[in-house]
Amino acid sequence: MSRIGVFLLGTMLAVTALAQEPETNRVTGQIVTGPNQQEATTVLDLSDVIREALEKNPGVQSALHTVNAQQHKVPQAKSLADPMVSVGWNGNLAPFSVQDGDPSSYRGISVSQQVPYPGKLKLRGQIAAKDVGAAQWDYEAVRRRLVAEVKAAYYDYFFFGKALQITRKDKDLLQKLSSISEARYRVGKGMQQDVLRSQVEISLLLQRITLLEQQRATAQARLNTFMARDPGSPLPPAASVEPAALNEKLDVLYALAAKNDTSLQREQQIVEKSQLVTQLAHKDYLPDFGVAYMYQQRPMLPDMNGMTFTVNVPVFYKTKQREEVRQATEEAISAERSRDDRENELQFELKQSYLSAEASKQLLDLYSKAIVPQSSLALESSMSAYEVGNVDFLTVLSNFSTILNYEVDYYRELANYQTALARMESLAGMELTSSQPLPSGGGANSEK
């Protein structure tokens, strides 16, 4: 065998080894290091991103202060109206000046207090408490939505990083393959179109790398925004992501979502509030009371003390109290229907995410156990056959593009799978993407 043939054979075997070695590493997400190499320890951990986002995100802080504001309304609603104090005189025009010799002239002070019918203040306090409960579930919804969005952005950031890593390695492999085609062309065993086609494919990979870099930078900016950082702040590579096990059945998730979905629980608070408002409207048929004390100082007569009791008479109940009850009843029915609509929508959203997760999981298994290994073997076989001239260069190139696309598709489906789990987490209130507990603000739970 000539020296050129030995060189081509050695180069072909090296390229085949490069094509075969990375497959399991890319699919499992592991970084293989030699004895003199150290694995990079600086990675972007998802839990750290979530914690920083929850601490700094303005939307979360706004929702928290809304809860605090609603809590301060409860004691106000349960309190009596302010007492009224009045002072006056009857006599001369000058302040507090009485007329000498006139027994009807006096100086006086009075204090009055309005007292609602028993039970009204309690109901008003309960209504205000339901507003607090609704605000707490709004706060929890903001937190869960933020966590889900952070996870989705993180998985995109992870995917684009992996896709770049795979594409750059495959570009280097394709450049070696192009060198082989050039060497074969120089010794008359290859065609010029093989060389040109390999250069075109390299240019296409460079185009893909540019697009992936832009998409990765966008995902990085999104993560920085969630953490209230400058969008251009550098971030380390994402930590390795492994597919989480989806052990819960759909019926179990339905039951969890019925208890923990923030929108549904908020609607339930509104339903209970509207029921209390209806009870209060019925109580408005009953009169409120007023009590007043009066003291008069009379120069020519003994001082006088007086008490006054008042009660309102709902004589216009047909246009006031009756209509108030009808309004409250309609609002209660509306709240119940809105809650029922959310129940239906909730089951659809959960089912949709569950089916998406199942489909992605099946594709992950298919890619890792069948498609990628088989494509790797096909590439290895075609390169060996190309070495002895049994297949053309286009066959090798086609197998090379196939393994590249499937490797990238594996990580795309992994990101889709984890994102679908994150959406279900927000609905069911249960951690699915890892073994860590789902972050909770505690407000809604403490109210429950």
Q: Tokens 């590249």 sit at which residue?
A: 404
Stronger pLDDT, 284 or 182, i.e. the higher one: 284
CB neighbourhood size of 433 (10 A): 24
What pLDDT is recorded for position 7? 33
pLDDT-based confidence at residue 105 (cuts at 50, 70, 90): confident
What pLDDT is recorded for position 178? 66
pLDDT over 70 at 226, yes or no: yes
Handedness of CA 316, 321, 324, 325 (dihedral sign): negative
What pLDDT is recorded for position 441? 52
Query: Phi then psi for 102, rounded to 5 degrees?
Result: -110, 110
pLDDT-based confidence at residue 196 (cuts at 50, 70, 90): low
Quick one: fold of 3-30+43-80+116-284+320-447? Outer membrane efflux proteins (OEP) (1.20.1600)
pLDDT-based confidence at residue 147 (cuts at 50, 70, 90): very high
Mean pLDDT, rounded, for 186-215 = 75
Q: 38-52, 109-123, 251-265, 326-340 — which is least confidently predicted?
A: 38-52
Share of the chain above pLDDT 90, in %: 55
What pLDDT is recorded for position 436? 45
Mean pLDDT, rounded, for 87-115 = 87
Q: 29 near 241, Cβ under 8 Å?
A: yes
Mean pLDDT, rounded, for 315-335 = 94
Q: 56-60, 133-137, 391-395 — which is least confidently predicted?
A: 391-395
Model confidence pLDDT, tens digit, residues 388-417: 566 666 666 666 667 777 888 899 999 999
pLDDT-based confidence at residue 29 (cuts at 50, 70, 90): very low
What pLDDT is recorded for position 75? 95
Helix (H) or strand (E) holding 110: strand 106-115
What pLDDT is recorded for position 399? 67
Mean pLDDT, rounded, for 185-210 = 70
What pLDDT is recorded for position 17? 41
What residues does each domain of the chain span?
3-30+43-80+116-284+320-447, 81-115+286-317
Q: 155-164, 231-240, 359-368, 419-428 — which is least confidently predicted?
A: 359-368
Mean pLDDT, rounded, for 177-204 = 66
Mean pLDDT, rounded, for 280-305 = 91
Q: Which range, 188-192, 288-292, 379-383, 401-405, has the best average confidence (pLDDT)?
A: 288-292
Mean pLDDT, rounded, for 67-82 = 95
Long-range contacts of 216-222 (CB under 8 A, 24+ apart): 216/157, 216/160, 216/161, 216/164, 219/153, 219/156, 219/157, 219/160, 220/157, 222/153, 222/156, 222/157
Mean pLDDT, rounded, for 174-195 = 64
- DSSP-based three-state secondary structure for 296: strand
pLDDT-based confidence at residue 340 (cuts at 50, 70, 90): very high
Q: Residue 86: beta bridge partners?
A: 110
What pLDDT is recorded for position 405? 77
What pLDDT is recorded for position 211? 92
pLDDT over 50 at 167, yes or no: yes
What pLDDT is recorded for position 193? 61
pLDDT-based confidence at residue 447 (cuts at 50, 70, 90): very low
pLDDT, mean over the chain: 82
Which residues fall within 8 angstroms of residue 404, CB to CB, at 6 or more apart?
166, 167, 170
Which residues fall within 8 angstroms of residue 115, CB to CB, at 6 or more apart?
80, 288, 289, 290, 291
pLDDT-based confidence at residue 438 (cuts at 50, 70, 90): very low
Model confidence pLDDT, tens digit, residues 362-377: 998 888 887 777 767 6
Q: 73-82, 156-165, 264-273, 390-399 — which is least confidently predicted?
A: 390-399
